[in-house]
Structures are given as structure tokens and as C-alpha cells.
């Protein structure tokens, strides 16, 4: 598919019509998600002028302070998606339990999950943030919808992506046929295909991890980073560079663009938690995008997309990006 002047709408229509990859209902659902992201992008861009910065004075189910924009983005996604007839329910990092589509609207067959605004700590300092989303099919063996319907492994996703609000607003999407990137053309008001197939190189010299947690890490993570830091005189025989944006969406976008490895591992600060990041809203959609671009994603031992979730807000340790590096980190864990 040539990448000139192909709108997201046309891309999705062609995925449906030419390749038969997505049903019409899923296409329409993705269009609505993209429209919601455009609205969130406008609020993000207004910043202080729109009175949207700062905290909202509330906490989410995970005990994290909510920013005004976290709540605005969550509301925009719900309002945009609840009436279309494509969805049965939604779940969000910012909501305690699932949001069932009100019965004044038709019930659809899909389930939508999102982190409405990832990288919340960067909102007020004007650093890139984003919306991450994932779509599952509702099991059709029973009427209605319940929380257990969401507890499907990431390999069951039918669409996943994110919208990054940075110097440009870009939407990155997979429906299982590679990863495509669209850039928001503000004059046209539409997302235009700018990269047809994103590909992550198998090797890299760049890692992303919050180094301030080093003293809390497990031995395999410490070993991997120590070897990177040893540079060209160490066992890796090359110098490594480090980046840490503290917005997973932005770190993953860099990796999809030029390679690298991203880690948010389990650590000893909260030993009972498997990790900081959320399986359903962050790890699963990013893991599928990364795999679709030729990379790999594990929790240090197991492929993320094979993990059977036990609860909606489940957390997970994350290692993703360039394939050979992810395999190396995983190997270090399995040998330990």
C-alpha cells in the first residue's frame, strides 16, 4: 500500500475490503477511538490555556493521584465510544471496575481497554504522553457482559495501538498485519498514513530503564544492565546509550522507530507486586505492537501475550523491544 495521502479511514476500509482482516464493526470502533484521540490531543495542546493541567484531587483504584487530564481523557473515550453499538463494555486504568455500555444504546461484541493518558507524571511538564488501547472480542457463550470476559490473554487481542501526543500527534495501530503509523494532519483533521510497516531492528545499543531503582532490582536485570554499562571493554563489546522518558508510550514509540530495549522489571520495593505496569492497558497492547514489528516482549520469563490475566488491574514485569536483547534478558532470568 503506497503511503501517500492514505487516511486512517481508507487504510481501515482496505484492511476490511481487500484483506478481509477486520470486520466492519471493528473498523468503525477503531475510527471512533481515533476520533476520541483527536479530541484528547486538542485538550493536551491547550495545556494551561484550557485549564486542564494539575491534579484533580482524586486517586484511582491503584492509589495513584489522578491528574485533570487523566480524567478528561477517560471521559472523552467513554463518551465517544458508548453510543456507537460496537462495544459491550470498556475498562480503564482510571476506573475501579468495568463500564458496561448503558442499555439505552445497542450492545456490540467488542471490549475496549485503555490507559487514557499514559505518562501522567509528564503532563504538567510538557513532555510527550499518550493514550494506549486494546480491543478484545467478548466471549459469545453467555448473554450480558462481566469483568471475567476481559480476562483473556494478550494473544486474543483483535486490535491494539496508541496515540502519542508529542511534537506531532501520531496514531500507531495493529490489527495483526504489521504496525502502521498515522500522523495527524491538523489542517485536514485526519490521520494520514506515514509509515506502512514499522520494524524494530533485532539488535540495539540503547536501553530504557529507570536507573534510580537499580538497588531494588533482581540479579538478572542487574547483570544485564551492568554488562551494558561496561561498554566496549565489557562482555558486550560495544557502548550502550540510555533513554528514559517516563512515558511508556513515548519510550515504546522510540523503540518502534529506531530499536532499543525497554524494561520496567519487578523490584524489591513492593515485592508482592509482579511489576509496576498494567498487563491489560499497557503491557498487552505494547507487546503485540512490538511483536508485530518484529520485536519481542516478555515478563523476564514468559511471553507477555501468553499470560492469563487473573484480574483486571493486574500488574506485570515488562521487557520489550529489539528481539536479541529481549531474548538475552529473558535467558538471564531463566538461568538464574
Binding site as annotated, residues for Mg(2+): 93, 115, 117-118, 282
Least Å distance, CB 335 to ligand AHM, is: 26
Kindly determine how many residues on this chain lie close enough to bind ligand AHM according to the rule CB under 6 A. 12
Three-state DSSP state, 159 = strand
Closest CA to 121 of 179, 43, 174, 67: 67
Least Å distance, CB 290 to Mg ion, is: 16
What b/e readout covers 310-320, taking b as 16+ CB neighbours within 10 angstroms? eebbbbbbbbb
Report which residue's Cβ sits closest to ligand AHM.
Answer: 248
Binds 121, which of Mg ion, ligand AHM, none (CB < 5 to 8 A, cut-off by type)? Answer: ligand AHM
120 binds ligand AHM (CB under 6 A): yes
247 binds ligand AHM (CB under 6 A): yes
Distance CA 116, CA 93 (A): 7
139 HSE (CA, 13 A, CB side): 11
Distance CA 80, CA 87 (A): 11
Binds 191, which of ligand AHM, Mg ion, none (CB < 5 to 8 A, cut-off by type)? Answer: none
Least Å distance, CB 155 to Mg ion, is: 21
Least Å distance, CB 252 to ligand AHM, is: 9
How many Å is the Cα radius of gyration of the chain?
Answer: 19
Binds 246, which of Mg ion, ligand AHM, none (CB < 5 to 8 A, cut-off by type)? Answer: ligand AHM
Distance CA 239, CA 320 (A): 20
Instruction: Identify the DSSP state of 147.
Output: G
Strand partners, 204: none
Q: Binding ligand AHM by CB under 6 A: which of 66, 210, 257, 324?
A: 210
Distance CA 336, CA 334 (A): 6
Sketch the per residue contact string, 9 through 48, with ligand AHM: x for CB under 6 A, - otherwise.
----------------------------------------
Cell, residue 15: 484492511
Q: Binding ligand AHM by CB under 6 A: which of 64, 185, 199, 218?
A: 64
Residue 171 CA: distances (Å) to CA of 25, 30, 66, 324, 328: 19, 11, 24, 27, 30
Phi-psi region of 237 (alpha: psi -120 to 50; beta: other; left: phi over 0): left
CB-nearer residue toward Mg ion: 21 or 246: 246
91 binds ligand AHM (CB under 6 A): no
CB-nearer residue toward ligand AHM: 12 or 52: 52
Angle at the Cα of 243 from the Cα atoms of 258 and 292, rounded to 5 degrees? 35
Report which residue's Cβ sits closest to Mg ion.
Answer: 118
Least Å distance, CB 244 to ligand AHM, is: 7
Least Å distance, CB 23 to ligand AHM, is: 30
User: Known binding site for substrate: residues?
Assistant: 118-121, 210, 276
User: Known binding site: residues?
Assistant: 93, 115, 117-121, 210, 276, 282
CB-nearer residue toward Mg ion: 22 or 277: 277
Q: Binding ligand AHM by CB under 6 A: which of 108, 119, 259, 275?
A: 119
Strand residue runs (E) in the chain = 55-59, 65-67, 87-92, 99-100, 110-118, 129-137, 159-165, 169-174, 180-185, 190-195, 206-208, 241-242, 261-264, 277-278, 296-298, 315-316, 318-321
CA dihedral 266→269→270→271, nearest 10 degrees, is: 60
Which residues of this chain interact with Mg ion, rule CB under 5 A?
A: 115, 118
Least Å distance, CB 111 to ligand AHM, is: 20
CB-nearer residue toward Mg ion: 65 or 148: 65
What is the contact surface with ligand AHM in residues (CB under 6 A)?
64, 93, 115, 118-121, 210, 246-248, 264
Amino acid at each position: 500500500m503506497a503511503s501517500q495521502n492514505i487516511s486512517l479511514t481508507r487504510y481501515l476500509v482496505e484492511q476490511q475490503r481487500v484483506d478481509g482482516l477486520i470486520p466492519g464493526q471493528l473498523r468503525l470502533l477503531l475510527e471512533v477511538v481515533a476520533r476520541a484521540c483527536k479530541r484528547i490531543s486538542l485538550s493536551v495542546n491547550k495545556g494551561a490555556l484550557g485549564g486542564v493541567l494539575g491534579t484533580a484531587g482524586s486517586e484511582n483504584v491503584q492509589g495513584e493521584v489522578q491528574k485533570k487530564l487523566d480524567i478528561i481523557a477517560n471521559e472523552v473515550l467513554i463518551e465517544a465510544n458508548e453510543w456507537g453499538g460496537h462495544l459491550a463494555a470498556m475498562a480503564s486504568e482510571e476506573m475501579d471496575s468495568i463500564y458496561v455500555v448503558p442499555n439505552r444504546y445497542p450492545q456490540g461484541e467488542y471490549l475496549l481497554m485503555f490507559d487514557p493518558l499514559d505518562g501522567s507524571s509528564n503532563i504538567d511538564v510538557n513532555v510527550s504522553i499518550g493514550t494506549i488501547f486494546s480491543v478484545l472480542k467478548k466471549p459469545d457463550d453467555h448473554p450480558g457482559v462481566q469483568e471475567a470476559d476481559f480476562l483473556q490473554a494478550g494473544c486474543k487481542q483483535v486490535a491494539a495501538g496508541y496515540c502519542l501526543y508529542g511534537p506531532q500527534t501520531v496514531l500507531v495501530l495493529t490489527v495483526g498485519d504489521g504496525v502502521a503509523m498515522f500522523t495527524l494532519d491538523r489542517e485536514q483533521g485526519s490521520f494520514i498514513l506515514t509509515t506502512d510497516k514499522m520494524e524494530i531492528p533485532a539488535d540495539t545499543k540503547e536501553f530504557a530503564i529507570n536507573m534510580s531503582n537499580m538497588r531494588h532490582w533482581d540479579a538478572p536485570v542487574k547483570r544485564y544492565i551492568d554488562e551494558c554499562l561496561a561498554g566496549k571493554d565489557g562482555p558486550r563489546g560495544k557502548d550502550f546509550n540510555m533513554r528514559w522518558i517516563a512515558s511508556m508510550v513515548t519510550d515504546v514509540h522510540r523503540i518502534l522507530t529506531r530499536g532499543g530495549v525497554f524494561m520496567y522489571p519487578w523490584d524489591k520495593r513492593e515485592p508482592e507486586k509482579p511489576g509496576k505496569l498494567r498487563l491489560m492497558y499497557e503491557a498487552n497492547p505494547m507487546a503485540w505492537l512490538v511483536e508485530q514489528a518484529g520485536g519481542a516482549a516478555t515478563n523476564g520469563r514468559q511471553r507477555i501475550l501468553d499470560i492469563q490475566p487473573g484480574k483486571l488491574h493486574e500488574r506485570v514485569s515488562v521487557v520489550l523491544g529489539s528481539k536479541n536483547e529481549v531474548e538475552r534478558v529473558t535467558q538471564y532470568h531463566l538461568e538464574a
